């Protein structure tokens, strides 16, 4: 997995502080912005966080480049509705040598791993065979219609991988550009930094939290699963490891406090 923060709002905490102050001030926006420096922006955002007043957080955005994650993860992360996704397409990108993600529980068991790798090898073989057969079929059809050979080749390949992709596994790795505003990220971290989240999206969420906490520490001061700032919201399904989770999240955010 490779995660980079490639863009974010200029002075995100200033923007959040200004947006919140504007609601209660007769001053103009330019005047408010001029009066905000790093210290009072941080103090004001701290107050918003403590109050749970999250709507001004929507004005700060963060964009991530994510690679080496599975299509299984893609199905989960797109459930977070208030976000923008640009994902590598299996319809247009040929998967003839697809990479894949191996779950840790499989990676650490040689017998199961062997079965898994054999399955990936068979999927690749079937994908390439289906692609080849469909491509030949479509190309002949286009040539009979009088299409130029190069154009027929190109259109036939696109049509072939469009259907052949149905045999590809959830383990296939993918790439995406993801943008979320700070409020959506807080919700994302609340759900996906939890121990009960699936391992891959949990790892991604923790990587993302580490990156945004560095550039907007006040906004993400209390970010993390519910047990970071209070009681676990999972009830009887709790992992019963709240102290360990708090310590882990604090290290991720770089605070290194003793819990």
Q: Which two tokens stand for residue 73?
A: 């993860």
- Give the three-state DSSP class for 194: coil
Phi, psi of 86 (to 5 degrees): -125, 115
Helix (H) or strand (E) holding 85: strand 84-87
C-alpha distances out from residue 56 to 17, 44, 59, 181, 211, Å: 8, 11, 6, 10, 20
Report the C-alpha gap between 85 and 88 in whole angstroms.
10
221: closest CA among 197, 174, 185, 172?
185
Q: Which residues are known to be catalytic?
A: 192
Q: Pick from 102, 95, 96: which is nearest to 117 by CA?
A: 102
């Amino acid at each position: 997995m490779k995660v980079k923060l490639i863009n974010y709002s200029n002075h995100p905490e200033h923007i959040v502080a200004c947006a919140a102050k504007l609601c209660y001030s007769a001053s103009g926006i330019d005047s408010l912005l001029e009066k905000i420096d790093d210290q009072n922006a941080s103090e004001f955002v701290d107050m918003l966080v403590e109050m749970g007043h999250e709507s001004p957080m929507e004005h700060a955005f963060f964009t991530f480049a994510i690679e080496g994650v599975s299509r299984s993860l893609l199905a989960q992360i797109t459930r977070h509705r208030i976000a923008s996704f640009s994902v590598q397409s299996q319809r247009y990108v040929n998967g003839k040598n697809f990479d894949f993600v191996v779950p840790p529980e499989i990676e650490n068991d040689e017998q199961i791993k062997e079965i898994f790798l054999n399955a990936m090898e068979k999927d690749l073989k079937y994908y390439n065979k289906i692609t080849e057969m469909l491509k030949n079929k479509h190309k002949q059809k286009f040539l009979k219609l009088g299409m130029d050979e190069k154009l027929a080749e190109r259109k036939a390949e696109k049509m072939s991988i469009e259907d052949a992709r149905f045999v590809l596994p959830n383990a296939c790795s993918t790439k995406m550009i993801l943008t979320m505003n700070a409020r959506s990220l807080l919700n994302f971290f609340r759900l996906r930094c939890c121990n009960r989240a699936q391992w891959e999206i949990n790892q991604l969420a923790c990587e993302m939290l580490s990156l945004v906490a560095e550039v907007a520490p006040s906004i993400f001061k209390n970010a993390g699963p519910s047990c970071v700032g209070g009681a676990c919201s999972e009830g009887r399904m709790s992992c019963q490891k709240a102290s360990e989770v708090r310590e882990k999240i604090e290290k991720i955010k770089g605070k290194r406090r003793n819990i």
